[in-house]
A and B are shown apart, each in its own frame.
Chain A
Amino acid sequence: MNERLISLRDLAWSAVNTPLSLVLTLLALIVFSQVGWAAGHWLVFQAVWPWQPADLCAIHSGICWPFLTEKLRFILFGTYPYDDHWRPALASFLMCALSVQTGLQMIDRGFRLNALQTLAVWGAVLLLAFVLMAGGVLGLERVDSVRWNGLPILLILSIAAIAMALPLGMFLALARAQSRFRALARMATAYIELTRAVPMLTVLFVGIFVLPLMLPPGVKISPVGATLVALIMFHASYFAEDLRGGLQSLHKGQDEAAKALGLPYWKRVGLILMPQAIQRSLPSLVNTIIGAYKDTSLVVVLGIHDLTATARMSFSDPGWRGYSLEAYFVVGLWFFVSCAFLSVIGRKLHRKAAIG
């Protein structure tokens, strides 16, 4: 903590210091103890542990672990054929592992791969995940996308949407940032501003309800496919704005120097401008990615059975009604851990950007 901040704090607080500060401290303490008490009560003192019989859950008011041991696989993989659960498990593991690796790589840890290698590995893993889930080759039984439930569909939707929205976002950012082609710039601007001014749910509804109408009669699109298209179209605008910020922050000399070297536009963009713009907008890109990942849970409204949806289905089983908090606890824990990891990466990138 440096001197500067403390003196500022001093100033900001001396005006309202003693009574308000006291009140806030007390308030924080009260909230803390209340939340702590409730959490301890639920998680520890009233908990029914996995080795205890499930009947106890009706008596104790805490977390019912027998429910979770019974339903955990269902929450994770939903109605995917039970004997083939290793497939979604492996697919999820691969996607998680690679996400962690890429995150670490951004803050200069983990394996060092260059951009091309990263792309190649991602492509391979996504393809492998898809093959594992869908089957139909290599002796794997075909499984319809309606049965891709729980964790893997959450990961596939968010990762595939982000992976495909990024290039589209780059294109939109470039189209908006240039001034040579007016109509193109205007169209990109209109698209970005329009999608950013409507809720994600409206875009998802368009994907599910309107997109099938827009296809020629007879052409079908699965709900998962339609959702994916909607997610890509939506996130692209946000990425575009992040990248545009990066592009605008570049010194003009960069482009001019590249021009002076006689590099054509796409080479200037691909070799000089975009890499720097991405580097500069990484912190805000990571923020957008966290937001996109969390918002993927909204697909539950469309009847896609992601992690939140399977959690809700798990306590619809007549034999296990009323354990909603337990199921949500699993989902919350997952999101908390994964988002916290991404947040840490984001914060490190922020610090790096502030120093560099």
Chain B
Amino acid sequence: MYTCRERSSSYVNFGNKLMTSLKVTALCATAALLVTGSTAVAGQVMDDIKSSDELVCLVNPKSPGFSVPDSQGVFQGFNTDFCRMAAAAILGDASKADIRGIGFSDSMKTIVAGGAHMASRSITATGTRDADAGMAFVATTFYDGQGFMVPSALGVSSASQLSGATVCAEDGSTTLLTLADWFGDHKIEYRVENIADKTARLEAFFSGKCDVYASDITALNSDRLLSDTPDAFTILPEVISAEPLTLVTQPDQDLEAAVFWAFQVMLNADKYDITSENIDAITADISAQPKAVRRMFAQDGATADMATKLGLPADWAYQVVKQVGSYGEVFDHHLGAETPFKLDRANSVNADFADGGLMYAYPIR
């Protein structure tokens, strides 16, 4: 427990830095999303989802905590729940999400080629990616930044002390480019080990094949707990990039709106402490709820109006919360204190805006 506190304090530290650097990006990104959204085709992809009664959603096949198949071959994790969220909102049934594990570059190509409706696989929204026709960045589900993890035994307290170190990083991702940029800018010599496979990369780091493990801070936090001795590793304070991990859909105004607002429902539910457990009690007593909650879940609320305009089931907002849960619920379920990853959301940038985080629930009205 002692070490846990120690960790969380350093996490707050990094969190503050990350927050200042990310807040601007995040708000700009959201604004950009809303603007670009309007140019997209309306309705075709949405119609396809409804007519096939199935929402094809791509996830990372091997990302513990975010998406990994269990022993039954069913994908579980934080990212997979946003696939289920979209299916619950559009088709009224979270289990109608056809969640498929696919490699990183393949998943982008598949979306562009129209082979899947959306992807929820920790894709960083970047300018050039958004400029590509064929995919739309919709809602940032996780704010992250790239950082470094080292064995505590090395006695390193800052990334500037890493001269001559060997760094393990993911092949073919932006991690590699960010890494080269940062070390180049700081004129620090290093050696990189590009290992595409996450399990192999972690194995290499834990066994000391590399001194440093470079990845998104969240991933560092969760991956560290996969070691037999999590306390033996330290996350360095430097955050060398902004990684707004964002849901991607095929360009379609209706689909983008549905996914975006379904996510906002999850954030609003989180804000008002509504979960899949207590939602039935809340709707049973809807007139006693705050107005914002009534607008979300009442039969004549704003969501019902949106439903007719976007062609969603009338109770889509209820279904999202009932079948998937609030943002905080999903977060805690897959990444929180009860999980092997023990992420402390309250002290991170992914906390609710009221708690100093970046998760800013848009008004539903």
Contact = CB atoms under 8 A, between A and B. Distances in A.
A318 B75 CA distance: 13
A312 B73 contact: no
Chain A, interface size category, equals 20 to 34
Given A303-B106, A312-B197, A220 B114 contact: yes
Contacts of B61: 303, 305, 313
A144 B61 CA distance: 15
A208 B340 CA distance: 36
Contact of B62 (A71, A144, A316): A316
A324 B199 contact: yes
Interface in B48-67: 56, 61-62, 64-65
A71 B72 CA distance: 8
B64 A312 contact: no
Contact of A70 (B71, B101, B114, B197): B71
A146 B113 contact: no
Interface in A318-342: 318-319, 321-322, 324
Contacts of B64: 316-318, 321
A317 B68 contact: yes
Contacts of B226: 318, 321
Given A312-B199, A318-B340, A324-B199, A74 B69 contact: yes
**Chain B at the A interface: SS class:** loop
Residue in B62, B65, B73 whose Cβ sees the most chain A Cβ within 10 Å: B73
A341 B102 CA distance: 33
Nearest to B103: A303
Contacts of A70: 71
Contact of A79 (B75, B113, B198, B203): B75
A212 B109 contact: yes
A77 interface: yes
Interface string B91-104: 00000001011110
B132 interface: no
Contact of A78 (B56, B68, B69, B109): B69
A79 B103 contact: no
A317 B74 contact: no
A294 interface: no
B73 A78 contact: yes
A118 B324 CA distance: 52
Residue in B101, B114, B203 whose Cβ sees the most chain A Cβ within 10 Å: B101
A220 B100 contact: no
B85 to A, nearest CB: 20
Contacts of A312: 62, 197, 199
A82 B203 contact: no
Contact of A147 (B62, B100, B115): B100
Nearest to A70: B71
A315 interface: yes
B320 to A, nearest CB: 24
B342 to A, nearest CB: 12
Contacts of B341: 318
B338 interface: no
B69 A317 contact: yes
A324 B106 CA distance: 25
Contacts of B56: 144
B215 to A, nearest CB: 15
A303 B315 CA distance: 38
Contact of B69 (A79, A208, A324): A79
B185 interface: no
A112 B69 CA distance: 44
B6 interface: no
A23 B114 CA distance: 64
A313 B69 contact: yes
Nearest to A142: B54
A149 B73 contact: yes
A74 B72 CA distance: 6
A322 B56 CA distance: 31
A313 B61 CA distance: 8
A73 interface: yes
Residue in A71, A144, A315, A316 whose Cβ sees the most chain B Cβ within 10 Å: A316
Given A315-B199, A318-B340, A324-B199, A73 B103 contact: no
A122 interface: no
Residue in B64, B69, B197, B340 whose Cβ sees the most chain A Cβ within 10 Å: B69
Contacts of B100: 79, 144, 146-147
A234 interface: no
B219 to A, nearest CB: 13
A313 B203 contact: no
A223 interface: yes
B221 to A, nearest CB: 13
Interface in B173-214: 197-199, 203
Interface of B: 56, 61-62, 64-65, 68-75, 98, 100-103, 106, 109, 113-115, 197-199, 203, 226, 340-341
6 contacts: A79-B74, A146-B102, A147-B100, A208-B106, A220-B115, A313-B69
Interface of A: 70-71, 73-74, 77-82, 144, 146-147, 149, 208, 212, 220, 222-223, 302-303, 305, 312-313, 315-319, 321-322, 324
Given A212-B109, A220-B114, A316-B62, 10 more contacts: A70-B71, A71-B71, A78-B69, A80-B73, A146-B101, A302-B103, A303-B61, A316-B199, A318-B65, A318-B226
